[in-house]
Structure 1
Amino acid sequence: MRKALLATTFAALATITAVTPAQAIRGGVEAPAAYPFSGSLQRPDSPRADGHTCGVTLVAPTWAVTAGHCTVRNPSQAQVGKPRDWSVRLGTLDAGSGGEVIAVERFITYSPNPVHDGDIGLLKLKRPAKTKPVALPDTRPAEGTQTRILGWGMTCGRRAPECYPQKLREADTVIQPAAACDGIYADRELCVGALDGSVAATNMDSGGPALVRDGDRWVMAGLVSGSGADDRPVMYTDVHHFKGWIGDVVSGRLNPPDTPVPNLEGAASLAGVCSGSVVRTSRTRENDPALLLTNGHCVPERPAPGQTVTNVPITLPVTVGDQQGYQQVATETKRVVSATMTGTDVALFELKLTYAQLRAKGVKIFKLADRSARPGERVDIVSSGNGNRFKCTIEAVVPHLREEGYTQDNAYRYNPECTPVHGGSGSPIVLQDGVTVVGVHSTGNDSGEQCTANNPCEVAADGSVTVHQGARYGQQVRHLAACAPARTPDRPRSPAAAPRGCA
């Protein structure tokens, strides 16, 4: 399976799931000198202190090129738009200092599905760079061509500070036959690196260049896209294939409009792997620690069938976005108030910030409903993980939903046009008033299998089983009003007092 070489957005994913990326720019060394036209895309959602997320290369005075999956991974997954607080740092050995820093005014991605359609994007800079752009190729480089690869990619298999190199790394390698790269699109990608993967790009090298010599100058042959495996060379987007598109954008002949952005206000992200929302009930007060609603299966150690987890201390990163989905506040969880996957698939986390502190930062706070949504009722699903606000209808209330040994009762099934996908787990299901949460998105049947992981089945009262391939499902939350902690911050409720309605 092909994977993009970017530590995805971005948070501390390693706190809840094991990740095993390749090592280093493997086989490389610290670069002895900077490349004036090459640099780093810096974003506030980077897990790194230096802000690095992807490599960039200057191709015109006010334009830099990078991987398309580096630009389309914005809060709303827009193909074209104006980012917030993105910048490039050019001509430095250190991703966190030196060089020339220029704010990014706009991004244009070749395709909204870059890995499959063309993994390249352009960044328009707010002012011209002082340095000279790199030369672009006149032809596609031949197999066996010597090339130099650059990047600040990870040097070990953990998303942790010790794995983020401070200094730029480089390695000399060759362009391999396309067949050496599993999953390559041979018409528009290059296969670059050692055949055994001992010299190759790695995670967070995405967008970085493959350079070839033309006399006394460097020419940019490709940019890092993705890897089929750690023991293989890496796929690079063939810059020559997209040279015409680059020229059209840079010259202004092609100037696509910004992608419309849905209203994502209040959409929360839990550790970068699940969606959620900050919710209150009639029992909560302004100085109470705020509650985050998500799925039970989003708890790092999933509750076993029949189990409800209550009052367990746990620290996970949480971000909440503004209307465009950009981070409005970052905080952490303090404990799991209640989480289960039996009868329902919901979890409530207590945050380290209070409702009053979140309101002071302008964060939208939702209200837990005291009723269920009715079949035929229109709802919105607001998803940080999908970067979308889905307009949906509750098609049915399913007596029992069974998946991988778990059973949930009275689950919502949405209309077929409502299609939240993986990453949308935990997204709030919101009534048309825009604030009242009647459920939480949880799962969907991907491949038509019966009652397996990612393939829930419906079980009727008489025990008959039905499968709806492509159907998506959510859980009700009206029972959660009893989960609001009945306490003051200086007088915690004992764990034994957790209300039974949380289960």
Structure 2
Amino acid sequence: MNKPLLAALAILATAGTSLAPAVAAPTATAPTVTAPAPAPAVRAVTFAGTVSLSNCSGSVVRLPASEDDDPALVMSNGHCLETGFPAAGQVIVDRPSSRTFGLLNSAGTKVGTLRANKIAYATMTDTDVALYQLTTTYGQIRSTYGINALTLNATHPVAGTAITVVSGYWKRTYACNVDGFAYRLKEGQWTWKDSVRYTSACQTIGGTSGSPVLDTATGGVVAVNNTGNEDGARCTDNNPCEVDQNGRVTVRKGINYAQETYQIPACFGLDSKLDLSKSGCVLPKP
């Protein structure tokens, strides 16, 4: 897993610049040309809505049908729980929690503290996710801090999509693409299904666990960052391996992974209430 580092690291932020193309002014004899339709607007990826945990990263997330008066949810990894890693096969539902989260604005500055009242759902079986229910609503967060929650996409991510991993712990972003999907991703005692594999540009580190993985073009959440193969070892802790439908094992040293989140909306109803019995809900059950 992308566990938090034991000591602070010096991180160099590289700022990119973009130049607008030069366009020559038409002469008096130039033919009239119809301008092409403008490209669809691209939502800039920022830190707004992400959170810092004591040991990981996370984000305030809403379901596509969430309303302003619904209790807000914070998403991170199951292995980021304050109570330690869930065992293989363990699913945690509606467990009281008073955990706090530092809410970040677009610049990555902490603007407030949010508090949970329970762990709504958490597991490291099939996926690696934790969803905390907060004592505040989406509307209250927006009115107090001017920050909107990030929206969970309800459709499967697509290979080749440009993505950005946004870490509230490090206040750092990682940009790459969805390289593909691992049928099974095995790490120690845990196995995850249909995991997102990044291209090599996303070199996530300890502390980025739980970061939302955003579709760079839309800002929608497509996955939650959780692990990477650090040393080239085979299927051990911190060295996950891919297992295909025929049981063939592939080790990709230096490659990092995330767990898909499109299944989550189908398991929640009104008022952010978890309902694992809902039609279409495929998250593991206790």
Q: Identify the residue that residue 228 of structure 2 maps to in structure 1.
A: 444
When the two structures are aligned, how many residues end up with a matched partner? 246
Amino acid at match of 1:363: I
- Paired residue type of 1:416: S
**CA deviation after TM superposition for structure 1 residue 502, in Å:** 3.9
Q: Deviations over 1:169-215 (max 9, x none)?
A: xxxxxxxxxxxxxxxxxxxxxxxxxxxxxxxxxxxxxxxxxxxxxxx
- Superposition deviation, residue 323 in structure 1: 1.9
Q: Identity of paired residues, percent?
A: 33
2:114 is the alignment partner of 1:331: yes
CA contact (8 A) 1:392 1:417 kept: yes
Whole-angstrom distance in 2 between the partners of 1:430 and 1:331 = 22
In structure 2, the CA distance between the partners of 1:79 and 1:304, relative to structure 1 (3 Å rule), is closer
Assess if the C-alpha contact under 8 Å between 1:284 and 1:484 holds in 2. no
1:454–1:424 Cα change, 3 Å:
same
- Backbone CA RMSD of aligned residues: 2.4
Q: Which amino acid aligns with 1:290?
A: A
1:433 deviates by 3.3
Structure 1: any 5+ residue segments left out of the alignment?
9-68, 81-261
Residue 477 (structure 1) aligned to one of 261, 274, 278: 261
Letter in 2 for 1:292: V
Measure the CA separation in 2 of the matches of 1:417 and 1:496. 37
Distance 1:318-1:370 versus aligned 2 partners, 3 A rule? same
1:273 equivalent to 2:55? Answer yes
From the superposition, tell whether residues 291 and 266 of structure 1 become closer, same or farther in structure 2 (CA, over 3 Å). same
2:153 to 369, 373, 378: 369
Does the CA contact (< 8 Å) of 1:400 and 1:411 recur in 2?
Answer: yes
Aligned partner of 1:386 among 170, 185, 189: 170
CA distance in 2: counterparts of 1:452 and 1:312, whole angstroms: 29
* Alignment TM-score, normalising by the size of structure 1: 0.46
Q: Is the 8 A contact 2:165 2:214 kept in 1?
A: yes
Q: What secondary structure is seen at the aligned counterpart in 1 of 2:266? A: helix
> Counterpart of 2:245?
461
Does residue 295 of structure 1 match 2:77? Answer: yes
Alignment-derived partner of residue 203 in structure 2: 419
CA distance in 2, matches of 1:456, 1:416: 15
The AA in structure 2 aligned to 1:417 is: A
Q: Which runs of 5+ in 2 are unaligned?
A: 1-5, 15-44
Aligned-partner residue type, residue 236 of structure 2: T
Runs of 4+ that moved beyond 4 A: 77-80, 495-500
Q: Which residue of 2 aligns with 1:109?
A: none
State the alpha-carbon separation in 2 of the partners of residues 478 and 415 from structure 1.
20
Match of 2:98 in 1: 315
Local SS of the residue matching 1:279: strand
Supply the AA of the counterpart residue of 1:314.
S
DSSP 3-state at the match of 1:478: coil
**1:320 touches 1:363 (CA, 8 Å); kept in 2?**
no
What TM-score comes out, normalization by structure 2 length? 0.79
Distance 1:306 1:451 in 2: 18
Shift of 1:389: 1.4
Counterpart in 1 of 2:68?
Answer: 286
Higher relative contact order (CA 8 A, sep 6+): 2
CA contact under 8 A between 1:292 and 1:348: conserved in structure 2? yes
Q: C-alpha separation between the residues in 1 aligned to 2:140 and 2:208?
A: 26
**Separation in 2, partners of 1:502, 1:362:** 32
SS in 2 for 1:297: helix
Letter in 1 for 2:223: G
Return the index of the structure with the highest Cα Rg: 1
CA distance in structure 2 between the aligned counterparts of 1:338 and 1:265, rounded to whole angstroms: 23
Q: Which has the higher helix share?
A: 1
Aligned partners of 1:338 and 1:502 also within 8 Å = no
Task: Output aligned runs, 1:177-326, within 5 Å.
Answer: 263-270=46-53, 272-299=54-81, 300-326=83-109
Question: What letter corresponds to residue 60 of structure 2 in structure 1?
Answer: V
Label 1:464 to 1:429 Cα distance change in 2 as closer, same or farther (>3 A). Answer: same
Query: 1:7-34: CA deviations, max 9, x gaps?
Result: x7xxxxxxxxxxxxxxxxxxxxxxxxxx
Separation of aligned partners in 1, 2:142 and 2:115? 16
* Distance in 1 (alpha carbons) for counterparts of 2:90 and 2:103: 29
Residues 452 and 370 of structure 1, relative CA distance in 2, 3 Å threshold: same
The 1:350/1:483 distance shift into structure 2, 3 A limit, reads farther
